[in-house]
Amino acid sequence: MALVELRDLTKRYQTEAEIISVLEDVDLNIEAGEYLSLMGPSGSGKSTLLNLMAGLDQPDSGTITIDGSEITSLGPNRLADWRANHIGFVFQFYNLLPVLTAFQNVELPLLLTNLSKDERRERVEVALNVVNLSDRMEHYPRQLSGGQEQRVGIARAIVSDPVMILADEPTGDLDAASAEEILTLLERLHSEFNKTVLMVTHDQHAAERAHRKMYLEKGVLHQ
Amino acid sequence: MKHARLVWKNLTRNKRRSILTVLSVGVALFLFAALQSVLTALDATSEVGSESRLITRNATGIVFPLPEAYTQRLRAVDGVEAVSWANWFGGTYIDSRNYFAQFAVDEETFFSMYPEIQIAPAQLDAFNGEKSGTIVGQGLMERFGWSLGQTIVLQGTIFPGDWEFVIRGVYEPDNPSFGDENMYFHYDYLFENSGESATPGWFIVRPSDPNLATEVAARIDGSFENSSDPTQTETEKAFQAGFVTMWGNVGFLVRAIGTAVFFAILLVAANTMMMSSRERINEVAVLKTLGFRDGLLSRLVVAESLAISVVGGVLGLAAASVMLANNEMLGSILPGYTVLPSTMLQGLAIAVVLGLISGFVPAREAARLSVVDALRRVA
Amino acid sequence: MKIPILYNLRSLRARPTATLTTALGMALVVAVFIGMMALSLGFQAALVETGSTENILVLRRGADSELSSGINRDVANAIAALPFVAKDASGKPLISPETFVVVGLERRSGGMANVVIRGVSPEAFDVRTGIRITEGRTFRPGSGEIIVGETLVTRVPNTEIGESLRFAGRDWEVVGHFEAGGSSFESEVWGENELFMPVFRGQVFQTVALRMEDPSAFEGVAETLEADPRLAVDAHLEREFYANQGTLLGDILRFLAVFIAGVMAIGAVFGAVNTMYSAVDSRAPEIGVLLALGFKPRSVMASFVVESMLIALLGGLIGCLIALPINGLVTSTTNWNSFSEVAFAFRVTPTLLVAGIVFALVMGVIGGFLPARRAARRPVVEALREVGS
């Protein structure tokens, strides 16, 4: 059984005038350890697909099975717990909490676990070490560059050891050099730590780095 | 507790706003304690009256005196152990603003009836040995800078003329709400110098069994029913309580103001919480993405508003207890004015309620927030 | 160059919750202020209007209240014969030697009320011209009839016309109700002095009220009266005498009004400061644009202070609306000078409403000042940069 199985996934939005179909009968299998990219023009439904897989949004029909759980049937609390344990989310605009240090931002997901303070510290240090920011632990987001902020964001995504990393245009707000760093980092997560990574991107070059490329257009997925 | 840091960080992110809100809550609770303690003082005034002493007065009205001959008739009433009497003098010391109460009392019977009035035996003897002697409260001594042995002159308003008194004793009450600003002098002195026109203003009766006070009171009034001056007898406590009600509906006034204060500050606190959380919608969405449950997120919001109002409440109540409790100026205007522990607890409970309510709307918003909408709004 | 007020109004409409909660907080402060002041005003007005500036009230020398005064019949007669006492058409002196006692009467709401029983002469209604019989008629001399002040009727039972009120050991027939312009007379029972005198305090009046022929001559008249060794009396201008009885409590209430509303206002101002800072912060880009367009920092500052004052004005108006219904509400307290209960109505006057709104505006200015200054001092570049982010 594949790690991720999407079956007949359909999502529509109702606007004043018409019903817009965002995703139309999407079927997708992702095996554990894959590194995928998802491209498509604005409004093609990329983010919606990502949100559905993260359990942030509900489909109109179809099923999403990840690591054996069918998540569309989970209630909000079960879904939140499931998300904490299974998904690491990387945002385009990093979305770090400005009032917390890099260390504290990365520690956030661990606050939902039963880990002791020392165990949390150890994990956070490992994660920050992976993204090569051990020397920036006590910095606040505003003291970091965009690329560094995104690396903290990635550390936050991997700290709870999720089965899958979902990255929503992780290089969209970065200059070329920083973007390159982030792509390398994602690749390492895949190759070194054997993480399953799904990256939504606008950037052809970034998409090429993935091992499997998909294209979404008008709600239809081309693999 | 591991989430406390998040709450703390949120509280300190806009320090000025948090501090101002804490102070508003503090001010409100200060006001609450100040007002509530007025009621405490009024209650204390009625509580100071004893249940085991009866006051017999003219049924027509408190301003009508009673004949002195009633003393013997009262003593003869079944169940009466002791009888004393007193009269209101109503004199002015230099200026009518220097108000204090003066009582002409029967020295032989009065002080044994009032153990609340604590006075050195030697001073009591000195007082008894001098016609124009007077015993005054410690508070009065301090207020006017009097000294023992000093002669003071009061202008009579009910009993005309200038009246000289020699301070022979100073008393301390055993309980602050009894008041330490009264003056007592010999009834005979009043009687002789008023052209023998004074008669007792009221009688104080001690029943032999305090539990039978109401029966004795009824018996007294019954025995004077058909006299020229019918009486009205009630426990001293009820008598005092009657005076308190003469101020009017103070309780209602205090409650009305208190309610207005509560809602005014509730609006301030709730508005602050709503402004804060509206500015953080994006962060709430991120936390939800990280797997924070809706319930936890709303509890974090409520914890924040609770922290603000409890800290504010504690500050306000502490200020009240420092500035108002044992405040001599307030104590002399309103004997028994003090901030009770129960008032503090009530205040704290109000602060908690304030925190819960002001956090309610933003907490609900946080829980209901849709991550997809919130993040899209930012993007 | 002024920034149009319309801009502020639109901004306030864009944040309805913050605007309304802040305004409502201020409204409650204003309402408490107006309410307490209305209480103080009502109490003082009741006493001030009791007295006339054309009347003299004569008390025994040294007496500080009607209750403690005592005036013998021959003294009263001597005063009636004095030349400065006004006369009616038939040449009778306008003078009312009065008996004054306070009796305990059962309240409708339970408990006892201390009520003034005033015995007056038949001329009293010409001396005290503000008294008007609203129902029934006045008492007939020698008949044991009484008339009852209107506010007392609502508070004490057995005061309807035709009913009998019992006090001092006998029944008195109520034949009329009277009003006296909201003054404390309306809390009294009036009857004939000659009839009350023996019942209550023996052959002595308490006071003498008289109408002066020439009110402007009060000083001289008072001196003449007080200098007369046969009389041994104090003469008071009637209005001042009653007004003074209300001064102390009125002052206390006014002090409380200012104190309580002042302390509350601190809390409300802090709320306004928060709201205005939030407004300034969230509108940083707009402020930048305004400054870039050439508006002076001073204008920006004025604009934000005006915005804060608009919130306060709204609060003040709502506060007035909250406080208005208490106008005329009757409550009572004790006039400790005469030991009697005085009923009076809360008085919300137009001046008081204006004072309430001014109070609100002051809160608005104080609350808006610091945030507005922050807006004006914001460097244009920094403000504009936030537009891009």
CA C364, CA C265: separation in Å to the nearest integer?
A: 10
Average pLDDT score over residue span B170-194: 90
Cβ within 8 Å, pair B9-A100: yes
pLDDT at A196: 93
pLDDT at C389: 41
pLDDT in tens, C214-231: 989 899 999 999 998 888
In A87-219 the beta strands, taken as DSSP E runs, fall at 87-90, 164-168, 196-200, 212-217
pLDDT at B95: 84
pLDDT in tens, C17-38: 899 999 999 999 999 999 999 9
Q: Which amino acid belongs to residue B198?
A: A
In chain A the beta strands, taken as DSSP E runs, fall at 4-14, 19-30, 35-39, 61-66, 69-70, 87-90, 164-168, 196-200, 212-217, 220-222
State whether residue C132 is helix, strand or coil.
strand
- Tell whether B129 and B209 lie within a shared domain: yes
CA B276, CA C278: separation in Å to the nearest integer?
A: 9
Q: Which amino acid belongs to residue C299?
A: S
Cβ within 8 Å, pair B283-A95: yes
- Tell whether B188 and B327 lie within a shared domain: no
Cβ atoms of residues A38 and A198 within 8 Å? yes
Q: Which amino acid belongs to residue C268?
A: A
Flag whether residue C116 sits within 8 Å of chain B, measured between CB atoms: no
Q: Which two tokens stand for residue C360?
A: 């609100």
Q: Is residue B377 scored above 80 in pLDDT?
A: no
| Polymer length in residues for chain C | 389
CA C115, CA C189: separation in Å to the nearest integer?
A: 7
CA C12, CA C20: separation in Å to the nearest integer?
A: 9
Residue B275 counted as domain residue: yes
> Could you give the count of Cα atoms lying within 13 Å of C318 in the half-sphere of its Cβ?
18
pLDDT at C182: 87
Cβ within 8 Å, pair C67-B63: yes
What is the helix (H) or strand (E) element at residue B16, kind and residue range?
helix B15-47
State whether residue C15 is helix, strand or coil.
coil
- Tell whether B291 and B357 lie within a shared domain: yes
Q: Which amino acid belongs to residue B240?
A: Q
Classify strands C95-106 and B182-186 as parallel, antiparallel or unpaired.
Answer: unpaired
The span from the first CA to the last CA of chain B, in angstroms, equals: 33
Residue B179 counted as domain residue: yes
Quick one: how many helices (H) and strands (E) in chain B? Answer: 15, 11
CA B106, CA B112: separation in Å to the nearest integer?
A: 11
CA angle A42, A47, A50 (to 5 degrees): 150
Other CB atoms within 10 A of residue C335 CB:
27
Residue B52 counted as domain residue: no
Average pLDDT score over residue span C155-178: 92
- Tell whether B193 and B323 lie within a shared domain: no
Angle between helices B15-47 and B4-13 (to 10 degrees): 100
pLDDT in tens, A151-202: 999 999 999 999 999 999 999 888 989 999 999 999 999 888 889 999 999 8
Q: Which amino acid belongs to residue B358?
A: S
Residue B141 counted as domain residue: yes
Cβ within 8 Å, pair C270-B63: no
User: In chain B, what residues touch A100 (CB-CB under 8 Å)?
Assistant: 6, 9
pLDDT in tens, B281-300: 889 999 999 999 999 999 99
Flag whether residue A109 sits within 8 Å of chain B, measured between CB atoms: yes
CA angle B253, B256, B262 (to 5 degrees): 135
Q: Which two tokens stand for residue C47?
A: 């006493």
Residues 25-84 of A with CB under 8 A from B: 51, 54, 56-57, 76-77, 80-84
ipTM confidence score: 0.90
State how far Cα B88 lies from the chain centre.
Answer: 24
Cβ atoms of residues C235 and C82 within 8 Å? no
Cβ atoms of residues C77 and B166 within 8 Å? no
Flag whether residue A20 sits within 8 Å of chain B, measured between CB atoms: no
Give the number of domains in chain B: 2
Q: How would you label A11-35 residue by residue, b for 16+ Cβ within 10 Å and e otherwise?
A: beeeeeeeeebbbeebebebeeebb
pLDDT at C173: 95
Neighbours of chain C (3+ CB pairs under 8 A): B
> Could you give the count of Cα atoms lying within 13 Å of C260 in the half-sphere of its Cβ?
31
Residue B240 counted as domain residue: no
Average pLDDT score over residue span C91-111: 90
From A45, A83, A56, C169, select the one nearest B225 (Cα to Cα): C169
Q: Is residue B330 scored above 80 in pLDDT?
A: no
Cβ within 8 Å, pair C270-B23: yes
User: In chain A, what residues touch B5 (CB-CB under 8 Å)?
Assistant: 104
| Nearest residue on chain C to B27, alpha-carbon basis | C267
Domain span at residue B190 reads 65-228
- In angstroms, the separation between the Cα of residue A81 and the nearest Cα of chain B is 6
A-B C-beta contacts closer than 8 Å: 68
Q: Cβ-count burial of B231 within 10 angstroms (0-12 exposed, 13-18 middle, 19+ buried)?
A: buried
Cβ within 8 Å, pair B290-A93: no
pLDDT at C168: 82
CA C385, CA C290: separation in Å to the nearest integer?
A: 14
From C55, C53, C48, select the one nearest C183 (Cα to Cα): C48
- Tell whether B31 and B170 lie within a shared domain: no
Strand partners, B173: B117
What is the helix (H) or strand (E) element at residue C107, kind and residue range?
none
pLDDT band at C388 (very low <50, low <70, confident <90, very high): very low
Classify strands A164-168 and A87-90 as parallel, antiparallel or unpaired.
Answer: parallel
Residue B243 counted as domain residue: no
Pick among A83, A116, A165, A166 to test the B interface (most B CBs inside 10 A): A83
CA angle C163, C164, C169 (to 5 degrees): 170
| Nearest residue on chain B to C341, alpha-carbon basis | B246
Cβ within 8 Å, pair B295-A77: yes
Q: Give percent above pLDDT 70 in chain C.
A: 97
Q: Which amino acid belongs to residue A88?
A: G
- Tell whether B344 and B290 lie within a shared domain: yes
Average pLDDT score over residue span B83-111: 89
pLDDT in tens, A51-96: 999 988 889 999 999 988 899 989 888 999 999 999 999 998 899 9
Q: Is residue C186 scored above 90 in pLDDT?
A: yes
Flag whether residue C236 sits within 8 Å of chain B, measured between CB atoms: no
- Tell whether B197 and B114 lie within a shared domain: yes
Q: Which two tokens stand for residue C10?
A: 């639109």
Give the range among C150-159, C202-211, C289-298 with minimum mean pLDDT: C289-298
pLDDT at B248: 82
- Tell whether B119 and B23 lie within a shared domain: no
- Tell whether B151 and B275 lie within a shared domain: no
Distances from the Cα of A54 to the Cα of A38, B81, B285, B291, angstroms: 15, 88, 13, 10
pLDDT in tens, A25-55: 999 999 998 999 999 888 788 888 999 999 8
From C127, C105, C235, select the one nearest C180 (Cα to Cα): C127
Residue B262 counted as domain residue: yes
Output the CA torsion sign for A79, A80, A81, A83. Answer: positive
Residue B298 counted as domain residue: yes
pLDDT at C384: 64
| Nearest residue on chain A to B371, alpha-carbon basis | A56
- If you ran DSSP here, which 8-state letter would residue A161 be given? -
Q: Is residue C148 scored above 60 in pLDDT?
A: yes
pLDDT band at C387 (very low <50, low <70, confident <90, very high): very low
Do C and B share at least 3 CB pairs under 8 Å? yes
Do A and C share at least 3 CB pairs under 8 Å? no
CA B247, CA B243: separation in Å to the nearest integer?
A: 7
CA C285, CA C386: separation in Å to the nearest integer?
A: 6
User: In chain B, what residues touch A91 (CB-CB under 8 Å)?
Assistant: 286, 289, 375
Cβ atoms of residues A55 and A70 within 8 Å? no
CA C272, CA B78: separation in Å to the nearest integer?
A: 69
- If you ran DSSP here, which 8-state letter would residue B147 be given? -
Q: Which two tokens stand for residue C147?
A: 């008339």
Pick among A89, A111, A117, A159 to test the B interface (most B CBs inside 10 A): A111
CA angle A193, A197, A203 (to 5 degrees): 125
pLDDT in tens, B120-139: 999 999 999 999 999 999 98
- Tell whether B200 and B82 lie within a shared domain: yes
Flag whether residue C337 sits within 8 Å of chain B, measured between CB atoms: no
In A43-146 the beta strands, taken as DSSP E runs, fall at 61-66, 69-70, 87-90
Cβ within 8 Å, pair C274-B271: yes
Average pLDDT score over residue span B94-98: 81
- Tell whether B105 and B164 lie within a shared domain: yes
Cβ within 8 Å, pair B30-C331: no
- In angstroms, the separation between the Cα of residue B360 and the nearest Cα of chain A is 20
Q: Which two tokens stand for residue C384?
A: 């504009």
**In the predicted model, what is the mean pLDDT of chain C?**
90
pLDDT at C1: 62
| Nearest residue on chain A to B13, alpha-carbon basis | A99
Of residues B333 and B66, more confidently modeled: B66
| Nearest residue on chain B to C168, alpha-carbon basis | B60
Q: Which two tokens stand for residue A41?
A: 């023009």
Cβ within 8 Å, pair A97-B372: no
CATH of domain A32-58+76-222: 3.40.50.300
User: In chain B, what residues touch C68 (CB-CB under 8 Å)?
Assistant: 90, 157-158
- Tell whether B201 and B306 lie within a shared domain: no
